[in-house]
Amino acid sequence: MSDGFDRAPEQTRPLRAPPSSQDNSPQQNSESTMAKPQVVAAPVLMSKLSVNAPEFYPSSYSSNYTESYEDGCEDYPTLSEYVQDFLNHLTEQPGSFETEIEQFAETLNGWVTTDDALQELVELIYQQATSIPNFSYMGARLCNYLSHHLTISPQSGNFRQLLLQRCRTEYEVKDQAAKGDEVTRKRFHAFVLFLGELYLNLEIKGTNGQVTRADILQVGLRELLNALFSNPMDDNLICAVKLLKLTGSVLEDAWKEKGKTDMEEVIQRIENVVLDANCSRDVKQMLLKLVELRSSNWGRVHATSTYREATPENDPNYFMNEPTFYTSDGVPFTAADPDYQEKYQELLEREDFFPDYEENGTDLSGGGDPYLDDIDDEMDPEIEEAYEKFCLESERKRKQ
């Protein structure tokens, strides 16, 4: 099958004509003369390339959405199919947000003309943001853009108001969800992290043009943290840590501006959990590292400070700079996660992705890896207790 290019002849020397029958007869002249070789001209190469050739797409790229999207919404029988296709497209190619969001919003303005259609749009985005791993950030950005560019504003409320009403439905059952079964808690945790992304990304413009965050979300996040810490199961505590890593610095700044000490209360709750709760050792270490992160101003470095190379002695956040891995489903995990060893071993067993790969000269089949060996080692109970007391005492001294 031709690949668009003709291969040039491999024989580059001139071709001699075959000898004729007269060449075999004896030469009459005493001075023999050699006949000049006859050169056969190489054929002219004709390119098969054309400016009218169809646009090239990589084999892994699906152009079905692109073709339909460029044609507008005519190819979609329902609003639900059009919106869901766009959400899936953003999930697979988040980099297309900037270039395609404007046209998406314009199409919605021509389609979403009723209260029911707006409700349906809100529900589709909410479900995508809370059910697809790693879409909560993109979902929050999408919500912020649509809240400023959708023109419909029915009596039941505009896009932002309906979105917050949808979030309130989940918020009102927070206490039951935090103590529910594993599936219920997992859905609740996805909601909590999406609400954190909304708090960071949802902009509210005032009458004077100033941009602020939604105070109602700030209050909601505080109560969600209470619900998580009141039910100190491992997955609830991990969710709380993720939420505070995501929003802790912004929440504390906002609370300080209002003269509130909510973050001090949150840190106190964490200290009580470390001392009293029956959670795993790995989760307790995550909580202690979060306390250290907060004591270092959430890892923020002032521009006026003198640069020093980070070491365990001068940087409380040093051990939090751990590599992030991803499962086959795209879920991130680090060495601080309780099920790190199981997920990491599963990652190593995917030989198709890591054939004969070695890290730091060590075979990743599991044997002899010093990093994994360190994780497997149990900390001496006396040393662990002394370490926890040291961290708590350091935090108390910092407050004084």
Q: What is the CATH number of the domain that holds 156?
A: 1.25.40.180
Q: Which two tokens stand for residue 29?
A: 């002249």
pLDDT at 327 over 60: yes
DSSP H helical segments within 172-316, as ranges? 174-178, 182-201, 215-230, 234-257, 262-276, 281-295
Instruction: Please report whether residue 356 resides in a domain.
Output: no
Q: Which two tokens stand for residue 167?
A: 């979030």
Looking at residue 350, what is its pLDDT?
64
Tell me the β-bridge partners of 358: 363
List of residues 6+ apart from 155 with CB closer than 8 A: 115
Count up the domains in the chain and report the number.
2
Same domain, 227 and 98: yes
Q: In the structure, what pLDDT confidence band is assigned to residue 77 with cuts at 50, 70 and 90?
A: confident
Instruction: Please report whether residue 57 resides in a domain.
Output: no
Same domain, 118 and 164: yes
Same domain, 234 and 323: no
Q: Structure pTM? A: 0.62
Residue span of the structural domain in which 248 resides? 79-299
pLDDT at 356 over 60: no
Chain centre to alpha carbon of residue 134 = 5
Q: In the structure, what pLDDT confidence band is assigned to residue 372 with cuts at 50, 70 and 90?
A: very low
CA angle 69, 74, 75 (to 5 degrees): 70
Measured distance CA(311)–CA(5) in Å, rounded? 57
CA angle 244, 247, 147 (to 5 degrees): 140
Q: Which two tokens stand for residue 342?
A: 């199981």
User: One-letter amino acid identity for 185?
Assistant: R
Measured distance CA(124)–CA(81) in Å, rounded? 10
Same domain, 197 and 342: no
How do beta strands 211-213 and 325-326 pair?
unpaired
Looking at residue 399, what is its pLDDT?
67
Cα 107 to Cα 86, 88, 145, 150: the distances in Å are: 11, 17, 14, 10
* Cβ atoms < 10 Å from Cβ of 202: 19
Same domain, 285 and 342: no
pLDDT at 123 over 50: yes
CA angle 259, 265, 271 (to 5 degrees): 150
Please answer whether residues 152 and 138 qualify as being in contact, where contact means their C-beta atoms are separated by less than 8 angstroms: no
Q: In the structure, what pLDDT confidence band is assigned to residue 43 with cuts at 50, 70 and 90?
A: low
pLDDT at 316 over 70: no
pLDDT at 30 over 50: no
Instruction: Please report whether residue 45 resides in a domain.
Output: no
Instruction: Please report whether residue 13 resides in a domain.
Output: no
Q: Which two tokens stand for residue 323?
A: 């590599």
Same domain, 328 and 284: no
Same domain, 323 and 241: no
Instruction: Please report whether residue 318 resides in a domain.
Output: yes
Q: Which residue would you say has higher pLDDT here, 43 or 163? A: 163
Looking at residue 336, what is its pLDDT?
63
Tell me the β-bridge partners of 212: 204
Looking at residue 13, what is its pLDDT?
43
List of residues 6+ apart from 4 with CB closer than 8 A: 48, 49
Please answer whether residues 148 and 205 qualify as being in contact, where contact means their C-beta atoms are separated by less than 8 angstroms: yes
Q: What are phi and psi of 363, to 5 degrees?
A: -65, 130
Looking at residue 5, what is its pLDDT?
42
Which of 259, 276, 299 delimits the end of a domain? Answer: 299
Measured distance CA(206)–CA(254) in Å, rounded? 17
Same domain, 252 and 325: no
Same domain, 249 and 342: no
Instruction: Please report whether residue 56 resides in a domain.
Output: no
Which of 299, 327, 362 delimits the end of a domain? Answer: 299
Q: In the structure, what pLDDT confidence band is assigned to residue 360 with cuts at 50, 70 and 90?
A: very low
Q: Name the residue among 123, 239, 220 with its Cα closest to residue 178.
A: 239
Q: Which residue would you say has higher pLDDT here, 237 or 361? A: 237
Measured distance CA(30)–CA(34) in Å, rounded? 13
Instruction: Please report whether residue 369 resides in a domain.
Output: no
Same domain, 145 and 278: yes
Q: Name the residue among 216, 219, 190 with its Cα closest to residue 204.
A: 216
Please answer whether residues 232 and 287 qualify as being in contact, where contact means their C-beta atoms are separated by less than 8 angstroms: no
Average pLDDT of span 197-210: 88
Instruction: Please report whether residue 4 resides in a domain.
Output: no
Same domain, 207 and 335: no
Same domain, 295 and 315: no
